Amino acid sequence: MIVPGPRTWTEKEIALNAPAELKARLFANENPFGPSDKAKKAIMEAMPKSYQYPFMFLQDLYQKIADHEGIKPGNILVRQVGTRVHAGRGVEMGRDFTLYAVVEGTVKYQKGRGDRVYVHVEPVKTQAQA
């Protein structure tokens, strides 16, 4: 014995068989005119940036946290693919391009020649050095 599944209705059947109060509310949340020209323009302008990661300034946050907390040798400064940021004073690069501190101190970023960015760890001055 085959049990019939739930019946699917077409839009035309729904429109013909629906009660009057439902007919008035059917698709009431949709604009019959579509999006405005301003909305279409805004959507088209936003499309090229829609794939970007929302935290574009995350590196700045990392730097502020590192400056506040101080860096110890071995701490990872930048985890990256490729060399977007280059190792400076007090910093070494691992085989996977990870930059890590080799001295204790504070983190400083510096723009180099062209579009290069360097990260340095400025050593902490002890009382004997001061």
Q: For residue 89, what pLDDT is reported?
A: 93
| Span(s) in the chain for CATH 2.40.50.100 | 58-123
Task: Look at residues 110, 9, 124 and name the one whose alpha carbon lies nearest to residue 70.
Answer: 124
Residue 6 DSSP class: P
CB atoms within 10 A of CB 61: 10
- pLDDT (tens, 9 = 90+) of the chain, 130 residues, equals 566 666 777 778 877 777 666 555 545 566 656 778 898 899 888 888 777 666 667 777 777 777 777 777 778 878 888 888 999 999 999 989 989 899 888 888 899 888 899 999 988 776 556 5
pLDDT for the residue numbered 50: 74
CATH topology of domain 58-123: OB fold (Dihydrolipoamide Acetyltransferase, E2P) (2.40.50)
Backbone phi, psi, residue 62, to 5°: -60, -40
d(CA 39, CA 116): 39
CB distance 120 to 90 below 8 Å: yes
Tokens of 15: 């429109």
